[in-house]
């Protein structure tokens, strides 16, 4: 299976089921040393430019991550800037839930369309988010996602046995700022039609989930004229969600969301031309503007032109997941 085919299996943020072999081999590394329940220290460095990856110290002591017995070792770290202690930062995988004070490690087995969830405050807290992955024999394919909503700041760093080392997810600037600042920045940077997406303090929802952009809503015709001008007769909701007639046309859906569908095809994959004006998916644009290297999964086919916060590599050794506030 190609990397593109693999990642599109979870592009809509749907919860994947683990294979029987993965369930049989799933082993939480309960014998590994747990972190003490101490709050993370606030960052004191100057605010980094948008898109900047976190510095080395952000990821903690990666040299002490134990080797995996399964496919790779996952370590979850607290980057809530002191808002939550380690015993209030939780992860869930394959039906098991732990705080990182109790158990910061997961010895990840092979699995298909897997999901690892994170919560702040309590295991059933509405402050939650997740990462997605397919882990095969000696290979990791995974991503952060904003396809459905933003719930928590997340960043991942994958290290492989050939020296490959890559990070993706929210950028350092976003992790350094408060949750309130991130929500306010969203409202300031998106057009009026999108500001209401940040009304819920627990999350910023994707536009396709908003009644405003659905049939009968105030913005139901947001994309109509532009879509018709390039020969597409589809609802605004389906354009945001790459559904209906666009479900099998990744290039067209991506071009509409990025407002480049009116350009020659050879220019529609040029990131420098994305989001020149509206109508466009300004929700997705915001996350691209504030993710590491400008890569984000802001809508289902955001992997077109390699713009998604996705990584695929053989020989994975460890994955660090930073959970922010």
- pLDDT per position as a tens digit, 91-146: 999 999 999 999 999 999 999 999 999 999 999 999 999 999 999 999 999 999 99
- What whole-number distance in Å separates Cα of residue 308 and Cα of residue 321? 17
Instruction: State the pLDDT at residue 50.
Output: 74
- What whole-number distance in Å separates Cα of residue 61 and Cα of residue 313? 22
Instruction: State the pLDDT at residue 17.
Output: 32
Axis-axis angle for helices 282-289, 179-189 (nearest 10):
130
Tokens standing for residue 264: 């020659």
Contacts of 277 (CB under 8 A, 6+ apart): 259
Instruction: State the pLDDT at residue 51.
Output: 86
Query: In Å, how far are 112, 267, 285, 321 from 270, measured between CA atoms?
Result: 32, 5, 14, 30
Residue ranges of the chain with pLDDT lower than 70?
1-49
Contacts of 124 (CB under 8 A, 6+ apart): none
Instruction: State the pLDDT at residue 309.
Output: 95
Q: Around Cβ 319, how many Cβ atoms within 10 Å?
A: 26
Instruction: State the pLDDT at residue 38.
Output: 41
Q: Is the peptide bond before 59 cis (omega within 30 degrees of 0)?
A: no
Q: What does pLDDT average to over the chain?
A: 88
Instruction: State the pLDDT at residue 48.
Output: 61
- Collapsing DSSP to helix, strand or coil, 244 comes out as helix
């Amino acid at each position: 299976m190609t990397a593109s085919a693999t990642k599109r299996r979870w592009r809509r943020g749907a919860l994947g089921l683990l294979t029987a072999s993965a369930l049989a081999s799933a082993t939480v590394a309960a014998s590994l040393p747990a972190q003490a329940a101490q709050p993370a220290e606030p960052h004191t460095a100057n605010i980094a430019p948008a898109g900047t990856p976190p510095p080395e110290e952000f990821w903690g002591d990666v040299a002490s991550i134990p080797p995996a017995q399964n496919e790779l070792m996952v370590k979850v770290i607290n980057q809530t800037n002191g808002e939550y202690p380690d015993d209030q930062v939780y992860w869930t995988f394959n039906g098991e839930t732990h705080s990182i004070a109790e158990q910061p490690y997961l010895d990840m087995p092979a699995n298909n369309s897997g999901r690892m969830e994170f919560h702040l405050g309590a295991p059933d807290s509405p402050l939650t988010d997740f990462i997605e992955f397919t882990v095969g024999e000696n290979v990791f394919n995974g991503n952060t996602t904003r396809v459905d909503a933003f719930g928590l700041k997340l960043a991942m760093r994958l290290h492989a046995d050939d020296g490959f080392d890559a990070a993706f997810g929210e950028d350092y600037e976003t992790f350094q700022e408060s949750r309130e600042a991130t929500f306010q920045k969203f409202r300031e940077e998106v057009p009026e039609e999108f500001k209401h997406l940040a009304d819920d303090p627990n999350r910023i929802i994707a536009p396709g989930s908003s009644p405003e952009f659905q049939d009968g809503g105030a913005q139901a015709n947001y994309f109509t004229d532009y879509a018709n001008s390039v020969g597409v007769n589809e609802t605004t909701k389906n354009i945001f969600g790459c559904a209906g007639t666009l479900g099998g046309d990744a290039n067209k859906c991506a071009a509409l969301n990025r407002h480049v569908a009116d350009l020659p095809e050879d220019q529609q994959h040029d990131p420098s031309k994305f989001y020149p004006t509206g109508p466009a998916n300004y929700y997705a644009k915001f996350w691209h503007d504030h993710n590491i290297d400008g890569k984000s999964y802001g809508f289902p086919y955001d992997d077109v032109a390699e713009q998604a916060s996705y990584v695929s590599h053989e020989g994975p050794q460890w994955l660090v997941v930073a959970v922010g506030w």
